[in-house]
Structure 1
Amino acid sequence: MPDHPYLAEGARVAIRPHRREDRAEFIRCARDSAGFHRPWLTLPTTEQAYEPFISQLESDDREGFLVCVRETGALAGFININTIVRGAFQCGSIGYGAFAPHSGRGYMSEGLGLVLRHAFGPLGLHRIEINIQPGNKASLRLVKRHGLRLEGFSPDFLYIEGAWRDHERWAITSDMLDDARGE
């Protein structure tokens, strides 16, 4: 079990802040999951690559969360809120990845629900965007399950695995989450 308290707990997973002391476990999970993530995502699989990754998460415009299996504390994945803009915008962009062997079990879906509630609650955000490559069927199912709406298409949006990749732009606002939960 982690030394850090969980920020939020669901039935099977909990989320906690991503910290530097998670380096070895995160790198191991990223290495074990590298084939699973291609071509959708590239994660740090060395200590050298991890340093800029965690340094970014320590900036004021980002929040990094680890999705943990409650029963064991094992890392099931991660969800980062990037490019947080305050003021009149109150928006952030989410990036995430599941870790093998925990993928396909609904852990990331439960974790995303926890992160969305945290984003719209304690973080005070109004809008979250998630950009997904059109061929990433698992991610498309995930955002649809959480009530995000398709807002557009962005050609050559992100440079991943040596190429500029097209992405669909999905978003949810705090009132949409409340509507989806029946509040």
Structure 2
Amino acid sequence: MPDSPYVAMGPRVAIRHTERNDRAEFTRLSRTSAALHHPWLTAPSTDEAFDIFMTKLERDDHEGFLVCLPETGAIAGFINVNSIVRGAFQGGTIGYGAFAPHAGHGYVSEGLGLVLAYAFGPLGLHRIEVNIQPGNEASLALVKRYGFRLEGFSPDYLYIEGAWRDHERYAITSDMFEAQG
């Protein structure tokens, strides 16, 4: 994709790396989507929070992607590959969120497929994990569509929205992803 900001394109969405100059749009979308995200996640909604978020994404063990509508460039959501461990593990964890008004249209779902292909391709990862709160039906349905398998339960796993939240742990390997064709 010469001269394109996108690292991968699907039928309806494309993914590109999150950049510092996305701060105003990202934080605006995070504020607009706060009710949608509650209580599942807190996306950076201030300049300071976004700058901290970007400092993390700029490290070698993180990759941040925006799910975009390529015809307009509108940001529909975000997907991050976090805590990448190399060596014998070759894995990482993902986190994601859709932004209003684009939630519920399958854009983040399509974007997840693009990010998984990128993670298992150019990034050379073997395993991706995701941790989801048990009541988050939309997120559970998303990972099940891609064949993630349930591997465990983690009580009090993450501090979100003022409380330690239980999570179910799902994972997919490059072999599982490739077998889906």
TM-score (structure 1 length as normaliser): 0.96
Unaligned ranges ≥5, structure 2? none
Aligned-residue offset at 1:71: 2.1
Deviation for aligned residue 1:4: 5.8
Letter in structure 2 aligned against 1:87? G
1:38 CA displacement:
0.3
1:112 equivalent to 2:107? Answer no
Structure 1 unaligned spans of 5+: none
Q: CA deviation at 1:46?
A: 1.0
The residue correspondences of 1:75-154 to structure 2 (distance < 5 A) are 75-154=75-154
RMSD over aligned CA atoms reads 0.9
- For structure 1, which segment, 157-166 or 42-51, has the greater mean C-alpha deviation from structure 2 after superposition? 42-51
Percent sequence identity over aligned pairs? 72
> How far has the Cα of 1:86 moved from its partner?
0.1
Instruction: List, as ranges, runs of 4+ consecutive aligned residues in structure 1 with deviation greater than 4 Å.
Output: none
When normalised by structure 2's length, the TM-score is 0.97
Asked if the contact 1:4–1:16 (Cα under 8 Å) also holds between the matched residues in 2, the reply is no
CA offsets 1:13-38 (integer angstroms, 9 cap, x no match): 00000000100010111011011000
Q: State the partner residue of 2:155.
A: 155
Matching residue of 2:42: 42
Letter in 2 for 1:62: H
Rounded Cα–Cα distance in structure 2 between residues aligned with 1:180 and 1:146: 8
Letter in 2 for 1:45: S
The alpha carbon displacement at 1:45 in A equals 1.0
Q: Please give the residue correspondences for 1:61-72 in structure 2 after superposition, counting only pairs within 5 Å.
A: 61-72=61-72
Describe the superposition over 1:149-182 as per-residue Cα deviations: whole angstroms up to 9, x where unpaired: 000100000000010000000000000001111x
